[in-house]
């Protein structure tokens, strides 16, 4: 489970590193550091499919993962962070055109097991907890929005190891949410309110292209990938201003694409 306190959250990373270092003596353990840069495109739609906003931009990220051979497969777990901004092109609640920026800070914690299915195939199952902080910047006429997503995910992926060529493996993974909440507030407009998130599901495809070894690293790999996630509108909850109920609030439908690549350094 992901620590919720910021200090504990950041302690989790060095603890993971320490555990990895301790396990390095064993050949069965692989530690890898991943860096990635992805183009992220988000669309949210309201009633009758009307587009409310589009966000787009580059999202750099960093992650650390440990894999340990266990039984017929590999047990793995990791932690990742992303800190970036997207261009926001949408409208206000009153319908004013609105162009601003959305700041994102994300952290993820995951664990899973990958079963070997013969020489070339493997089946991975993964649980993930994600926390996303999204701050839509205010303008002179329109108040901003603070959103805090906390969501659990389940994923299953099929990986095929290629016999030859520059690509080591390709993988297709299906993921879906298994619960989550959203905390929303807007200073002077919306008091803090919690909303259960709607169901999210999607897929990703990725590959690994070995680039060789260098320095401390036994492997350096390029990992391109593409993912899509669609989220249903959330249930509605009452929202308040100054403690007085003003109406209902919900998270609209969301359709998200990500395309990019990263370098993975393993030792």
Q: Which stretches of the chain bind other proteins, using CB under 8 A?
A: 44, 46-48, 50, 52-53, 88, 90-98, 100, 102, 134, 136, 138, 141-145, 147, 184, 186, 188-190, 195, 233, 236, 239, 245-252
Q: How far is the CB of 214 from other proteins (least distance, A)?
A: 43
Q: Least Å distance between CB 177 and other proteins? A: 18
Rounded to the nearest whole angstrom, what is the least distance from the CB of residue 204 to other proteins in the complex?
24
The neighbouring-strand residues paired with 225 are 206, 260
- Are the beta carbons of 151 and 175 closer than 8 angstroms? no
CB of 139 to other proteins, least distance (A): 8
Give the strand pairing for 169-186 and 200-214. Answer: antiparallel
Q: How far is the CB of 260 from other proteins (least distance, A)?
A: 23
- Calpha distance 159→114 (Å, rounded): 9
Burial of 242 (0-12, 13-18, 19+ CB in 10 A): exposed
Pick 54 or 266: Cβ nearer other proteins: 54
Provide the sign of the torsion angle of the four alpha carbons 53, 56, 62, 67, taken in this order. positive
Distances (CA, A) of 149 to 1, 80, 106, 246, 260: 15, 16, 9, 23, 23
Residue 3 or 144 having the CB closest to other proteins = 144
Distances (CA, A) of 72 to 69, 170, 229, 260: 8, 20, 31, 31
For other proteins, the closer CB: 40 or 134 = 134
- Closest distance of CB 190 from other proteins, Å: 6
The continuous run of DSSP H or E covering 11 comes out as helix 6-23
Task: Tell me whether residue 134 or residue 159 sits nearer to other proteins (CB atom).
Answer: 134
């Amino acid at each position: 489970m992901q620590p919720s306190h910021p200090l504990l959250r950041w302690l989790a990373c060095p603890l993971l590193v320490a555990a990895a270092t301790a396990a390095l003596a064993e050949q069965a353990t692989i530690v890898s550091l991943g860096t990635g840069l992805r183009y992220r495109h988000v669309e949210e739609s309201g009633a009758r499919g009307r587009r409310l906003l589009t966000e787009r931009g580059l999202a750099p990220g960093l992650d650390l993962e440990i894999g340990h051979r266990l039984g017929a497969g590999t047990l793995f777990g990791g932690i990742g962070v992303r800190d970036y901004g997207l261009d926001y092109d949408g409208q206000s609640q009153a319908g004013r055109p609105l162009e601003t920026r959305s700041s994102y800070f994300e952290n993820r914690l995951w664990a899973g097991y990958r079963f070997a299915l013969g020489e070339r195939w493997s089946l991975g199952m993964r649980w993930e907890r994600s926390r996303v902080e999204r701050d839509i910047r205010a303008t002179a006429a329109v108040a901003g929005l603070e959103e805090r997503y906390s969501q659990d995910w389940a994923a299953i992926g099929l990986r095929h190891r290629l016999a030859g060529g520059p690509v080591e493996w390709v993988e297709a993974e299906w993921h879906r949410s298994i619960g989550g909440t959203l905390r929303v507030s807007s200073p002077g407009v919306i008091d803090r309110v919690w909303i259960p998130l709607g169901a999210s599901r999607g897929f990703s495809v990725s590959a690994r292209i070995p680039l060789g070894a260098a320095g401390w690293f036994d492997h350096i790999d390029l990992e391109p990938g593409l993912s899509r996630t669609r989220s249903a509108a959330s249930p509605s909850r009452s929202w308040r201003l100054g403690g007085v109920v003003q109406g209902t609030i919900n998270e609209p439908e969301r359709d998200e694409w990500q395309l990019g690549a990263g370098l993975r350094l393993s030792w």
